[in-house]
Amino acid sequence: MAAPAVTEMEAYLFDLNGYLIIKNALTPQQVAACNATYDEIEEAAKSITGRGWWGNVSVNNSGKQEGIILQQLYEAGPVWEELLDHPSWYDKAIHFIGTDDPENFDGHHGPAFIDECFGTIRSTGGAQRLHSGGHVGTIRTQFRYHAGKFHCGQVNILMAFNDIGPGDGATMVIPGSHKSNVRHPQTVAIERRAEESSVDGVVGAIECHLEKGDALLFVDAIAHGSARRTNPGNRRIAVYRYGPSWGSFRLPYRPSPDLLARLTPRRRGLVMPHTTPVLPPGRTA
């Protein structure tokens, strides 16, 4: 019999806390390949002011605290395609979205859709503000458990390509906040400080320390962001966001025809459900 997608303990902890850490999710070869891409992009970004492109990957040398923001990373080469349905997390993501249950999945699409595939390269001084939380109530990113099953709107896989410990600007979460009904009292002050804040000092927030190759799986409804990086060097992560296949793209980026042509059917379905629409005679789109 096939191993369950998640253990009883993983289901318990995900329900309770809103996140899981998957140790050694990537192989050392995959980490090296992802870092090779980031080396090239970092070099290219030196001559990009604001938004530009590295092949089919959007590179935003944002000048903001988030650092260099990359979009459409699944276009960046073979390793990035392997990550689409990586065995370390694919079944878990599908399970928490709830579409591994035939009663919740009608088979017309795939079991999931990746509505955003991004990465950041963040140097000293960089951070990510606190956002989300159960009190916000957004359906797209919701945590939902109903009738004995998970039905989450967005399950994120955040992968570390270098070690992220104290001072490195770790992702921070408030465990359990995916179920919170009441707004965190500190968030009002944080919003007033707007974009350039971090999660440091937020009551209840913890740093998720990762070693390179580890992945943080979390429901987007959890209140999260990152600590400010104080160490030298930079932090390299990528995030693949999984949701139900009836969702749509978060941003106006679309997979390239080349990518769609070379992906396996399962991977193609993850980046573009219904690649081949059924149309009346004579209509092409």
Ligand X SMILES: O=C(O)CCC(=O)C(=O)O
Contact set with ligand X (CB under 6 A): 120, 128, 156, 158, 171, 224-226, 239
| CA pair distance 215, 73, nearest whole angstrom | 16
Residue 72 Cβ, how far from ligand X at the closest point, in Å? Answer: 15
Cα 113 from Cα 4, distance rounded (Å): 21
- 94 versus 160: smaller Cβ distance to ligand X: 160
Phi, psi of 25 (to 5 degrees): -65, -40
Smallest gap from residue 220 Cβ to ligand X (A): 6
Contacts of 19 (CB under 8 A, 6+ apart): 173, 175, 208, 216, 217, 218, 219, 222
Min separation Cβ 128 and ligand X, Å: 4
Q: Of 230, 237, 239, nearest to 168 (Cα)?
A: 230
Nearer to ligand X, 78 or 165 (CB): 165
* Assigned token pair, 77: 């080469």
Give me the sign of the Cα torsion angle 176, 181, 183, 184.
Answer: negative
Nearer to ligand X, 69 or 260 (CB): 69
- If the CB atoms of residues 58 and 128 are measured against ligand X, the closer one turns out to be 128
Closest separation in Å from C-beta 49 to ligand X: 22
**Tokens of residue 237, six digits:** 């992560």
Q: Residue with the closest Cβ to ligand X? A: 171
Q: Among residues 6 and 170, whose Cβ is nearest to ligand X?
A: 170
Nearer to ligand X, 92 or 224 (CB): 224
In angstroms, the Cα distances linking 71 to 58, 120, 265 are 5, 9, 22
Q: How far is the CB of 221 from ligand X (least distance, A)?
A: 11
Return the SS3 of 237.
strand
Q: How far is the CB of 193 from ligand X (least distance, A)?
A: 16
